Structure 1
Amino acid sequence: MNKSQIFDDHFSREIQLKNEKIQIWLEHSLFTWQWWFGVIVLLLSILIWLKFRNKNSTDRLLYSGFFVVICASILDILGHNLGFFHYHYEVFPLTANYLPWSIIVIPVIVMFFLQYKPNANPFIKSVIFSALLSFIGLPLLSFIGIYHIVKWNYFYSFIILIIIYLIAHFLVQRDNFDKIT
């Protein structure tokens, strides 16, 4: 078998597994209470953000928020693909991450923390934020059957989320924006 056939064979198996995942999602996940939980968390987080964000700082907060979305999504996908953890009851079946968590909940909470008491010590805020998500949020997702740890520890998430928050804080403080002319 030549190299091209090896890659093609692997691709075919991936497609077959993705089709199986969609079938499992349709039969065992879609419209379950856990699936509705994800949909409601996703929508409520967006609505709460739109209602309570600091409207004068929206662009600046979104700048940091998009950084958090990218980091959280990439790390979530890596953790899933490396077999550290996986999710059941995804809102969308073709993702390797739990979208309500990585693209909505984490960034929205970061943006609220950034806008609340912006002059407070960012390290203390990062520890509080990280502790809430790592030691309350993730165990809650685990308890309701959405998040499944294989070879991971909540403490790893705690450290990673502190770093993500501190970088987001650094980004939201930047003043190096000139208008595009």
Structure 2
Amino acid sequence: MSNTRLEQFDKAVQLREDSTDLLIQIWKEYHLYSTLEFWIMVSILVVPLLILFFKIDKSKIFLIGFYGYSVHVILAYVDIYGMNAGYWHYPFQLLPSLPSLSVDASIVPVVCMLMYQWTLNHKKNYYLYAILTAGGFALVFKPLLVGLGLFKLYGKANYIYLFVGYVLILLTAKFMTNVFLWAQKRYGPSTKQY
């Protein structure tokens, strides 16, 4: 590998570090942790987790938890990509080094888990409700966050792209869950199937 290539890579890493340091400096300098917006983000993190604790079907907790974890991981990757590509960002964060924590780790996975649980328990069409859930996030929740100044879109990014992204995330999470259910049924010990 040439020295020029490594030098450019090191420069890119330094720029990313400088960018993160600047976000932390802004967070501290403007006391963002003392703003209403910060506390809204705290609520977006904590309240859904509390609701999930009481509402999750304990008899299917590992299945629903695996599905929710899949949503969380895929969403986190998509959010990192979107922020790094400059398509969107979160101006108010709980932790500047984890800007999408409230959305990626709580409200979206929790709502998706409860939707998945509901479709299982009521034998409803998952795909229909996944599309409706994606629409709720992309066309209602994200515009609300934009209106509150908690989310910003940049460049060509728009709500339709977000909708398609949410649909793909929910389809991928369902596919991953189904693959593991199939593997458990085929190779695992005999257990109750969902």
TM-score normalized by structure 1? Answer: 0.89
Asked if 1:162 is matched to 2:164, the reply is no
Deviation at 1:10, TM superposition (A): 3.6
CA contact (8 A) 2:119 2:126 kept: no
Residues 1-181 of structure 1 mapped to structure 2, 5 A cutoff: 2-28=4-30, 29-95=32-98, 97-118=99-120, 119-151=123-155, 152-173=157-178, 174-177=181-184, 178=188
Give the counterpart letter for 1:82 in structure 2: A
Cα distance in 2 for residues equivalent to 1:127 and 1:10: 38
Amino acid at match of 1:156: Y
Aligned equivalents of 1:13 and 1:164: distance in 2?
30
The match for 2:192 is: none
Of residues 114-123 and 138-147 in structure 1, the stretch that sits farther from structure 2 once superposed is 114-123
Superposition RMSD in Å: 1.8
Q: Measure the CA separation in 2 of the matches of 1:142 and 1:90.
A: 14
In structure 2, runs of 5+ residues without a counterpart are 190-194
- State TM-score, norm by structure 2: 0.84
Taking a change above 3 Å as real, the CA distance of residues 101 and 2 of structure 1, as seen in their structure-2 partners, is same
- Between the aligned partners of 2:146 and 2:183, the Cα distance in structure 1 is 41
Unpaired stretches in structure 1, ≥5 consecutive residues: none
The AA in structure 2 aligned to 1:18 is T
Q: Per-residue deviation at 1:40?
A: 1.4
Residue 61 of structure 1 contacts residue 172 of structure 1 at CA under 8 Å; is this kept in 2?
no
Identity %: 24
Q: Quickly say closer, same or farther: Cα 1:16–1:112, change in 2 above 3 A.
A: same
Instruction: Name whichever structure is richer in helix by fraction.
Output: 2
Q: How many residue pairs were aligned?
A: 178
